[in-house]
């Protein structure tokens, strides 16, 4: 073999070795079980990202809190030991309080509101804030629907009906304060522990969207649903900022583009599935009711007691006013 063909072979071997070494399987944590909005966003993102990197990079999903509670995954991503996570926005708020503007009760009143806020100026600012405060970058959003109250005890229509119940809430101050405004002291608990706590009767109820309640099979341990619709559940897809910065420009571009496209897919998914999932929960024996008197007492108590408490943490009252104005209110 000539020297030239030898060096040609060597160059080819080196190139192959580089290609092999560079191909990566990223890990993505999901708090929910397979089959809900988190799973839908995650699988769509993985498919798009794989295609955009020419099949080189893959993403492996770990559903059902296998990689830790949702709040733990923020810590792990911040230090770069986890690549991606899809989690409820309320589980990011403790790390980046300005995100709380999206969890204030009754601010978001429709899917359109949710899309407008996350995909517009407000969303862009929150992306910057979470990078700064929490070391994670939001690259996509799952739209999971309004959080509704479930419980195993009795139909709840009024605040009187709610009294005495033990309700699990995420470890999120705004949600805790909302239940306190409604006259009950809720039990803050990690998402990963919630099913067992409902099953064992440690807590009587919790709130999450129809799609999440369905994916988590809560109909096996809960009987009643009340459409309190106080928070629209937004579930961002985050990537560790350290991992993001480690990627080549074309991989970063693939991540951002796949995130945008998977977000649009999430809008289509909720529109196509939420109504039939609600029907299926009823078919599985859940009794669904609306709050009495157009929710007035629920809305009034929550907004007057909770909003002012959190003006400082969300960036001032002006921030909430800006959001409400954007939403035409
Ligand atoms: C929670 O209640 O902690 C979250 O909404 C769970 C989720 O991510 O679906």
For residue 254, the domain's CATH number is 3.40.190.170
Domain membership flag for residue 3: no
115 and 260 share one domain: yes
If pLDDT is split at 50, 70 and 90, which confidence band does 2 have?
Answer: low
132 and 104 share one domain: yes
27 and 120 share one domain: yes
Asked if 140 and 262 count as a contact pair (C-beta separation under 8 A), the reply is yes
Domain membership flag for residue 14: no
What is the C-alpha to C-alpha distance for residues 169 and 179, in angstroms, rounded to an integer? 9
223 and 293 share one domain: yes
Domain membership flag for residue 223: yes
123 and 73 share one domain: yes
126 and 239 share one domain: yes
Q: Which residues on neighbouring strands pair with residue 287, listed in sequence order?
A: 224
Q: Cα(87) to centroid of ligand 1, in Å? A: 7
The dihedral built from the CA positions of residue 63, 68, 72 and 76, taken in this order, carries a sign that is negative
The pLDDT of residue 294:
76
What is the C-alpha to C-alpha distance for residues 199 and 231, in angstroms, rounded to an integer? 24
Q: Of ligand 1's atoms, which has the minimum distance to the CA of residue 169?
A: 2
38 and 121 share one domain: yes
Domain membership flag for residue 8: no
Residue 4 has pLDDT above 80, yes or no: no
73 and 111 share one domain: yes
Q: Cα(35) to centroid of ligand 1, in Å? A: 14
* Full-model pTM: 0.91
267 and 319 share one domain: no
What is the C-alpha to C-alpha distance for residues 11 and 55, in angstroms, rounded to an integer? 23
Residue 37 has pLDDT above 90, yes or no: yes
- Measured from the Cβ of residue 131, the count of other Cβ atoms closer than 10 Å reads 17
Parent domain of 307: 148-231+280-326
Domain membership flag for residue 9: no
Q: Cα(13) to centroid of ligand 1, in Å? A: 48
pLDDT > 90: percent of the chain: 92
Q: Cα(235) to centroid of ligand 1, in Å? A: 8
If pLDDT is split at 50, 70 and 90, which confidence band does 21 have?
Answer: very low
Q: Which residues on neighbouring strands pair with residue 238, listed in sequence order?
A: 85, 138
200 and 61 share one domain: no
Domain membership flag for residue 107: yes
198 and 238 share one domain: no
Q: Count how many domains the chain has.
A: 2
Domain membership flag for residue 180: yes
Q: Of ligand 1's atoms, which has the minimum distance to the CA of residue 144?
A: 9
- Fill in the DSSP letter of residue 328: T
Alpha helices by DSSP H, 23-120: 37-52, 70-78, 111-119
58 and 182 share one domain: no
Q: What average pLDDT does the segment 135-151 reach?
A: 98
Residue 35 has pLDDT above 70, yes or no: yes
Burial (Cβ within 10 Å: 0-12, 13-18, ≥19) of residue 327: middle
Query: SS3 for 171?
Result: coil
Domain membership flag for residue 13: no
The pLDDT of residue 293:
83
Q: Of ligand 1's atoms, which has the minimum distance to the CA of residue 87?
A: 8
Which residue, by CA, sits nearest to atom 8 of ligand 1? 88
Ligand 1 shell residues, CB under 6 Å: 31-32, 70, 87-88, 91, 170, 191, 208, 212, 233, 235
């Amino acid at each position: 073999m000539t020297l030239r063909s030898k060096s040609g072979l060597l160059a080819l071997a080196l190139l192959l070795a580089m290609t092999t070494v560079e191909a990566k399987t990223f890990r993505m944590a999901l708090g929910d079980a397979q089959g809900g909005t988190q799973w839908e966003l995650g699988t769509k993102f993985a498919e798009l990202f794989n295609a955009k990197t020419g099949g080189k990079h893959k993403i492996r999903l770990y559903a059902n809190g296998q990689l830790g509670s949702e709040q733990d995954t923020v810590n792990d991503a911040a230090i770069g030991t986890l690549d991606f996570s899809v989690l409820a926005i309320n589980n990011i708020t403790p790390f980046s309080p300005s995100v709380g503007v999206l969890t204030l009760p009754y601010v978001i009143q429709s899917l359109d509101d949710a899309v407008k806020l996350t995909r517009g100026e407000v969303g862009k600012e929150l992306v910057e804030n979470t990078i700064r405060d929490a070391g994670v970058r939001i690259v996509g959003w799952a739209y999971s629907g309004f959080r509704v109250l479930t419980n195993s005890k009795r139909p709840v229509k009024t605040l009187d009906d709610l009294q005495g119940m033990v309700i699990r809430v995420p470890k999120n101050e705004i949600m805790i304060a909302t239940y306190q405004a409604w006259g009950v002291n809720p039990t803050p608990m990690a998402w990963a522990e919630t099913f067992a706590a409902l099953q064992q009767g440690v807590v009587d109820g919790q709130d999450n969207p129809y799609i999440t309640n369905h994916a988590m099979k809560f109909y096996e341990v809960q009987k009643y649903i009340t459409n309190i619709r106080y928070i629209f559940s937004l579930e961002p897809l985050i990537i560790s900022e350290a991992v993001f910065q480690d990627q080549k420009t074309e991989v970063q571009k693939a991540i951002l583009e796949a995130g945008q496209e998977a977000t649009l897919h999430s809008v289509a998914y909720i529109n196509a599935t939420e109504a039939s999932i609600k029907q299926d929960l009823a078919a599985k024996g859940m009794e669904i009711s609306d709050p009495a008197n157009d929710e007035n007492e629920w809305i009034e108590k929550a907004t007057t007691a909770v909003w002012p408490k959190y003006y400082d943490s969300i960036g001032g009252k002006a921030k909430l006013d800006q959001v409400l104005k954007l939403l035409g209110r």
